[in-house]
Amino acid sequence: MILSDVDIRKAMESGELVIDPLQNDTVRENGVDLRLGDEILRFRNKDIYDIYSNKADEFVREKGEAFILNPNEHILILIRERIKLSSNLVGFINLRSTYARLGILIPPTIVDAGFEGNLTIGMLGSNFPIKLYPGERIVHLILARTESPSSKPYSGKYSNKSHIETAHINL
């Protein structure tokens, strides 16, 4: 079942869900709005990205008070809030409609039961440049409760990160 604002607040009170920092406008009718952090990662223009390499020269990390998302550019963004889900909560990330109406896209993103950390989200630019500001509510996290707790809560390579993590495969 999808959690309502009442269910979300109960989950926070019980410790099933942690959101830090929590703002007054974070909890919404049936989900949680999360904010753009102060860091993005731009992929360099390369012919081939080698998912096994994870070389630092394949991207540029930027911090700032604003970012320009260029036309059709793919970037990774850091979400400001650190979240922690219990082993029976799952999250679904959607772009807030304000940004979707500008033509920005994000891929379907699942936050696995047991996840803890700051999320990294892929984002694809529209047909025109768009200025993004850290602190803006940019994505909406919908939470669902599983019928039973996961027997193997998430503990993968993206867990407990407070910075943008690139896509790579460890051999």
**What does each C-alpha distance from 10 to 13, 17, 18, 87, 145 come to in angstroms?**
5, 9, 11, 16, 12
Angstrom distance (rounded) from CA 112 to CA 109: 10
Angstrom distance (rounded) from CA 105 to CA 20: 25
Instruction: Record the pTM.
Output: 0.88
Angstrom distance (rounded) from CA 86 to CA 21: 18
- What are the sequence ranges of the domains in the chain? 5-43+66-145
CA distance from start to end of the chain: 37
Task: State the average pLDDT over residues 111-126.
Answer: 96
Helix locations, the chain, DSSP H: 5-14, 97-100
DSSP state, residue 153? -
Average pLDDT of the chain is 90
In this model, does residue 45 exceed pLDDT 90? no
pLDDT band at 169 (very low <50, low <70, confident <90, very high): low
Angstrom distance (rounded) from CA 139 to CA 97: 9
DSSP state, residue 101? T
Topology of domain 5-43+66-145 in CATH is: Deoxyuridine 5'-Triphosphate Nucleotidohydrolase; Chain A (2.70.40)
Angstrom distance (rounded) from CA 30 to CA 8: 8
Question: For position 145, what pLDDT does the model report?
Answer: 96
pLDDT band at 57 (very low <50, low <70, confident <90, very high): low
In this model, does residue 160 exceed pLDDT 80? no
